[in-house]
Amino acid sequence: MVGEIPEVTGFMQTCPPFDGLDADALAKLVRNLSVSYHKSGDQIDLAGDNADIYLIRSGSIEIRSADNQLVDRLSAGDTFGLACLPAGSGRDQVASVLEDCLLYVIPASLIADLRLADRNFDSFFKREKLSRSLDRDIDTQRDYHLGQRVGDIVSRAAVCAGRDMAIADAAKLMTRERVSSVVVVEDEQLVGVVTDRDLRTRVLAADLSPQAPVGQIMTPDPIFVKSGSRLHDAQLTMMSSNIHHLPVVEEASRRPLGMLTTNDLLLAQNSQPLFLIKSINRCGDAAAVAEVAARLPVLIQKLIRADASAEDIGRIITSVTDAMTTRLIKLAEAQLGPPPVPYAWLAFGSQGRQDQMLGSDQDNALLLDDSVEAAHARYFEQLAGFVCDGLNACGIRYCPGEIMATTARWRQPLAQWQQYFSGWINEPSAKALMHACIFFDLRHIAGAKSLTRQLKDFVTGRAGQNRIFLAGMTENALGHRPPLGFFKTFVLERDGNHEPALDLKHRGTIPIVDIARIYALSAGIGAVNTMERLRALEAFSELSAGDIHNLLDAHEFIARIRIESQGEQLAQGREVTNSLNPKVLSPLVRHQLKEAFAVVQSCQQGMKMGFGGGAL
Amino acid sequence: MLYKLRYWLQAALWRYRARTTPFESLYLTPPPALSRPFEQLRFVVLDAEMSGLNPKRHNLLSIGWVVIERGRIVGDSGRHFLIHADAHVGESTKIHGLRDSAIAGAASVARVLALLASQAGGAVLVFHHASLDMAFIQRAARQTMQCPLLAAYVDTMELEKRRLRRQGKSASLRLKLCRDRYGLPATAQHNALSDAYATAELFLAQVAHLGERGKLRLKDLYPVNIS
């Protein structure tokens, strides 16, 4: 009788992505794999035709790129192979065995079949999972971003001519095809380019016969780009070489695919967030603002696809939110009349920090001039209601904690705000600390800037001098621990659907935001953006330069995974959350995520020593 | 030289009896040459469970095997057979967890040996502690086929003994402890197939440490025996 080797099946059942397979698929996998043993020092070439997937049963492996840069270290339960490498990384990587390894070798064809059949299984192997699910979207819309691949925007096939084609025929071909250039090919390979300009300078002006072959006037061995290059790189190439036509060739075969022109680049920039902000500024009523705002998720998906950094995406979402807020305020003023006294509209929390993500809720307030009178209350209440309702209609939900300008308590004159902050700093109760975390990340959005400046000046410095307050903040911050167990395993929580998941906000980015806030307050740094706070801290000695760098990287990495996961949720039409099941991550990403959490963990420890120790 | 001689001798002695038995093909195809590179060899890694240690008094209870080709264990090559026992299982059930009832639904030893012969042609058998398993298999073979199972075989225990001797060490040769020395993972199962599989992993580990795999030949796995 056929005996499934229980050791193999048993082990694979515990390893992502194989743990999610049904019994039949797993049995098929086990039947078709083979087991190999590699001594320490051995190398496994992952380049070329070796597309097999390796699951490490025991031992450890180091992945290095072609230029010998360390890419990753892997151990039992991790998977590697060509298909697992992050897209865009060098393809010719080498796995060297650090400790003797027992490997389960799974044929590439089998993995390919499973990827087709099983969506979850597939997503494990895709780092840029989003980009693919968005392909269909992109094709129907004529707007692109510079981070996109050249191949994505060269939509029509290359117009080709043979080397021997008469110049006159080439000119006719160009006219018929309505292109300004042709690619000259020989044996399906790119050998030259002829442009409109060549016809003018090298034929007409040089008095050459139109019957001469194009080979005579072409630019031989032209500069070209591969279809997988980023648009951005292509643009740089065109700028630096001062050319307007850039042939695009297929990655592997070098067969010409098309021609990229400066015009294509112009078209590609249509989706810049600036356009969205401009259209918001042209809106005539709140409903129109909401309509434009509905385009934001699509833009964000494109930015994710274009590999924009999480920091940039956070800033872009925030600037769009700022634009919506400002526009709504203008519309409110148009409706309610000019304000009776000067006021400032403030943003807190993630909008304040400029690291808003999709699904962030509102945190705002009104700061009024001290000359405000009781009779003016009605005006500001209506203003706040108009703006907050408008934002909610734009998808920025009401704050569940009611930290909004619509709450009377958060619609106060400067003197009252100063009192609030003094209270929080001097009597740091649990509630006060919770408020402090939100309100210390404050930013001016609209209205009288001088009011905001006075409040900020009041706050900055005051907090840093109060060690008890900082100790309280630290204690509070330590409540958000990275989800890392003792043996560097993920500590999972149950998400809304009771699936085990990582909370990438409260246990991922928030701890870093907290660390940056506390150190910044202590150093009297006025910045509120987490990255800016950390960079500003380089001038102080509280945090080592190494820690600052690590925190910056960790924040970007965690935020990036969070935004990618949110993009995926959007693409699938699910609710946008901060939860992520780590099983969908590739081993490489899982490994890096653990490293990022470990950085946060150690910085939290340092913070505890620095601020928390003595006072509590 | 001795290796070839022994094969021809065995073949000459038993060929007549092997005719028309499932073992016949083993007597017609000579075993792989000692100079055959490791990567081109096919190995059948075996383990047998017995009701005791004495081949004359005790029986085979089960046999399991996996195949190694091109230096890798082949995923769907695992086979496991419970063997019909004449006598009662007795004491050994405590070790292997096989009860009489489980054995009742088993294959006959003749059928299992026939299937083994179909795998063993042109291949090299691998055991951990070959002499014990071979004694039982050959006794069963002579009882059912009237001739021995003719094949080349190597012994991971002998390979380990040799390695330890060369390093001037002495240590336990039990399968689990040998595996530990190569950093192979612990296994919980204890049946003939999982032990055969565990032996196969050990064998690959030993081979990896014998030298560069591309240059390794069958003779490097000595002692290579002919049964």
Q: Is the preceding omega at residue A17 within 30 degrees of 0, hence cis?
A: yes
Per CB-CB distance under 8 Å, the chain A contacts of B183 are 58-59, 99-100
**Would residue A466 count as lying in a domain?**
no
Nearest-Cα distance to chain B for A502, in Å, is 30
Clarify whether residues A284 and A429 are in a common domain.
yes
Tell if the CB–CB gap between B73 and A4 is shorter than 8 Å.
Answer: no
B209, closest residue in chain A (CA to CA): A39
| Phi, psi for residue A3 in degrees, rounded to 5 | -110, 120
Top-confidence residue, A243 or A68: A243
Is the pLDDT confidence value at B183 over 90?
Answer: no
- Contact A105/B at CB under 8 A: yes
Tell if the CB–CB gap between A32 and B194 is shorter than 8 Å.
Answer: no
Clarify whether residues A317 and A373 are in a common domain.
yes
Neighbours of A541 (CB within 10 A): 9
Is the pLDDT confidence value at A599 over 60?
Answer: yes
- Contact B71/A at CB under 8 A: yes
| pLDDT reported for residue A417 | 94
Distance, in Å, from the CA atom of B196 to the CA atom of B45, rounded to the nearest integer, reads 6
Distance, in Å, from the CA atom of A44 to the CA atom of A38, rounded to the nearest integer, reads 9
Neighbours of A592 (CB within 10 A): 19
| pLDDT reported for residue B222 | 82
Residues constituting chain A: 616
Contact between B210 and B221 (Cβ < 8 Å): yes
List b or e across A212-222, with b for residues whose CB sees 16 or more CB atoms inside 10 angstroms.
Answer: ebbbebbbeeb
Restricting to A residues 218-247, those with a Cβ less than 8 Å away from any Cβ of B are none
B82, closest residue in chain A (CA to CA): A1
Q: Which is it for strands B42-50 and B60-69: parallel, antiparallel or unpaired?
A: antiparallel
This prediction has a pTM of 0.48
- Contact B63/A at CB under 8 A: no
Tokens of B137: 């298999």
- Contact A85/B at CB under 8 A: no
Nearest-Cα distance to chain B for A59, in Å, is 7
Restricting to A residues 4-33, those with a Cβ less than 8 Å away from any Cβ of B are 4-8, 11, 30-33
| Domain-ending residue, one of A245, A269, A293 | A269
Distance, in Å, from the CA atom of B131 to the CA atom of B134, rounded to the nearest integer, reads 5
The partner residue sitting opposite B184, judged by closest CB among A3, A4, A58, is A58
**Would residue A350 count as lying in a domain?**
yes
- Contact A595/B at CB under 8 A: no
The partner residue sitting opposite B73, judged by closest CB among A34, A58, A76, is A34
A38, closest residue in chain B (CA to CA): B208
Distance, in Å, from the CA atom of A550 to the CA atom of A533, rounded to the nearest integer, reads 14
Q: Which residues pair with A225 in a beta bridge?
A: A248
- Contact B189/A at CB under 8 A: yes
| pLDDT reported for residue A446 | 92
From the list A472, A452, A274, A269, the residue with the least C-alpha distance to A352 is: A452
Contact between B149 and B48 (Cβ < 8 Å): no
**Would residue A547 count as lying in a domain?**
yes
Per DSSP, the residues of B123-184 read -EEEESSHHHHHHHHHHHHHHHHSS----EEEEHHHHHHHHHHHTT------HHHHHHHTTP
Contact between A256 and A160 (Cβ < 8 Å): yes
Nearest-Cα distance to chain A for B195, in Å, is 10
How does pLDDT run across A424-472, given as a tens digit for each residue?
888 888 888 888 888 989 999 999 999 999 998 888 878 877 888 888 8
From the list B36, B43, B27, the residue with the least C-alpha distance to B153 is: B43
Distance, in Å, from the CA atom of A349 to the CA atom of A502, rounded to the nearest integer, reads 21
Tokens of A241: 């070489």
Interface test with B, best of A9, A14, A37, A99 (most B CBs within 10 A): A37
Query: Which run of H or E residues covers position A175?
Result: helix A167-177
Beta strands in A364-455 (DSSP E): 364-368, 411-413, 443-447
Reported as a pLDDT band with limits 50, 70 and 90, residue A23 is confident
Nearest-Cα distance to chain B for A30, in Å, is 6
Clarify whether residues A61 and A162 are in a common domain.
no
Per CB-CB distance under 8 Å, the chain A contacts of B74 are 34
Range picked from A126-135, A151-160, A269-278, A389-398 for highest mean pLDDT: A389-398
Per CB-CB distance under 8 Å, the chain A contacts of B78 are 2-5
| Domain-ending residue, one of A242, A269, A296 | A269
Domain count, chain B: 1
Interface test with B, best of A11, A35, A98 (most B CBs within 10 A): A35
Clarify whether residues A338 and A400 are in a common domain.
yes
Containing structural domain, residue B130: 2-226
Nearest-Cα distance to chain B for A163, in Å, is 49
Is the pLDDT confidence value at B190 over 60?
Answer: yes
Contact between B41 and B75 (Cβ < 8 Å): no
Clarify whether residues A332 and A407 are in a common domain.
yes
| pLDDT reported for residue B97 | 52
Nearest-Cα distance to chain B for A294, in Å, is 52
Question: What CATH number has the domain bearing residue A32?
Answer: 2.60.120.10
Is the pLDDT confidence value at A134 over 60?
Answer: no
Nearest-Cα distance to chain B for A3, in Å, is 5
Nearest-Cα distance to chain A for B74, in Å, is 5
% of chain A at pLDDT higher than 90: 25
Per CB-CB distance under 8 Å, the chain A contacts of B214 are none
Clarify whether residues A552 and A607 are in a common domain.
yes
Tokens of A403: 């930290």
Clarify whether residues A379 and A411 are in a common domain.
yes
What residues contact A592, with CB distance under 8 A and at least 6 apart? A72, A557
| pLDDT reported for residue A129 | 32
Reported as a pLDDT band with limits 50, 70 and 90, residue A479 is confident
Q: Which is it for strands A364-368 and A411-413: parallel, antiparallel or unpaired?
A: parallel
Interface test with A, best of B184, B199, B216 (most A CBs within 10 A): B184
- Contact B183/A at CB under 8 A: yes
How does pLDDT run across A322-345, given as a tens digit for each residue?
999 999 999 999 999 999 999 999
| pLDDT reported for residue A460 | 80
Tell if the CB–CB gap between B72 and A100 is shorter than 8 Å.
Answer: no
- Contact B66/A at CB under 8 A: yes
Clarify whether residues A285 and A259 are in a common domain.
no
**Would residue A221 count as lying in a domain?**
yes
Please tell me whether the interface predicted TM-score (ipTM) of this complex is above 0.95.
Answer: no
Reported as a pLDDT band with limits 50, 70 and 90, residue A615 is very low
Distance, in Å, from the CA atom of B173 to the CA atom of B156, rounded to the nearest integer, reads 9
Range picked from A301-310, A578-587, A592-601, B88-97 for highest mean pLDDT: A592-601
**Would residue A137 count as lying in a domain?**
no
**Would residue A463 count as lying in a domain?**
no
Distance, in Å, from the CA atom of A528 to the CA atom of A536, rounded to the nearest integer, reads 11
- Sign of torsion over alpha carbons A335, A337, A338, A343: negative
| pLDDT reported for residue A74 | 79
Per-residue pLDDT, averaged over A296-313, amounts to: 78
Beta strands in A233-341 (DSSP E): 245-249, 256-261
Is the pLDDT confidence value at A197 over 70?
Answer: yes
Question: What CATH number has the domain bearing residue A234?
Answer: 3.10.580.10
From the list A307, A309, A264, the residue with the least C-alpha distance to A152 is: A264
Quickly tell me which residue has 């006219």 as its tokens.
A175
The partner residue sitting opposite B201, judged by closest CB among A1, A4, A37, is A37
B76, closest residue in chain A (CA to CA): A31
- Contact A45/B at CB under 8 A: no
Per DSSP, the residues of B188-227 read ---SHHHHHHHHHHHHHHHHHHHS-GGG-BGGGGPPPEE-
The region of weakest confidence among A247-251, A526-530, B136-140, B210-214 is B210-214
How does pLDDT run across A60-78, given as a tens digit for each residue?
888 877 777 666 777 888 8
Clarify whether residues A409 and A281 are in a common domain.
yes
What residues contact B213, with CB distance under 8 A and at least 6 apart? B38, B39, B71, B207
Distance, in Å, from the CA atom of B36 to the CA atom of B33, rounded to the nearest integer, reads 5
Restricting to A residues 513-532, those with a Cβ less than 8 Å away from any Cβ of B are none
| pLDDT reported for residue A324 | 93
Is the pLDDT confidence value at A11 over 50?
Answer: yes
Q: What is the mean pLDDT of chain B?
A: 84
**Would residue A132 count as lying in a domain?**
no
Tokens of B4: 């070839």
Question: What CATH number has the domain bearing residue A426?
Answer: 3.30.460.10
| pLDDT reported for residue A205 | 86
Three-class DSSP category at A249: strand
Clarify whether residues A492 and A372 are in a common domain.
no
| pLDDT reported for residue A155 | 55
Number of CB pairs, chain A paired with chain B, less than 8 A apart: 79
| Domain-ending residue, one of A247, A269, A291 | A269
| pLDDT reported for residue B168 | 83
What single letter denotes the amino acid at residue B161? K
- Contact B86/A at CB under 8 A: no
| pLDDT reported for residue A119 | 76
Chain-centroid distance of CA A235 in Å reads 22
Top-confidence residue, A95 or B103: A95
**Would residue A353 count as lying in a domain?**
yes
Containing structural domain, residue A161: 146-269
3-state secondary structure A553-613: HHHHHHHHHHHHHHHHHHHCCCCCCCEECHHHCCHHHHHHHHHHHHHHHHHHHHHHHHHHC
Per CB-CB distance under 8 Å, the chain B contacts of A38 are 208
Interface test with B, best of A2, A32, A34, A75 (most B CBs within 10 A): A34
Q: What is the mean pLDDT of chain A?
A: 82
Reported as a pLDDT band with limits 50, 70 and 90, residue A3 is low
| pLDDT reported for residue A88 | 46
Is the pLDDT confidence value at B146 over 50?
Answer: yes
How does pLDDT run across B65-118, given as a tens digit for each residue?
999 999 999 988 888 888 876 544 444 544 555 555 455 556 788 888 988 998
From the list A465, A517, A215, the residue with the least C-alpha distance to A348 is: A517
Is the pLDDT confidence value at A246 over 70?
Answer: yes
Clarify whether residues A482 and A579 are in a common domain.
yes
Top-confidence residue, A265 or A179: A179
Quickly tell me which residue has 């740089």 as its tokens.
A236
Per CB-CB distance under 8 Å, the chain A contacts of B187 are 7
% of chain A at pLDDT higher than 70: 88
Per-residue pLDDT, averaged over B162-167, amounts to: 88
How does pLDDT run across A554-591, given as a tens digit for each residue?
998 899 899 888 888 888 888 888 888 887 887 778 88
Per-residue pLDDT, averaged over A119-143, amounts to: 46
Clarify whether residues A292 and A423 are in a common domain.
yes
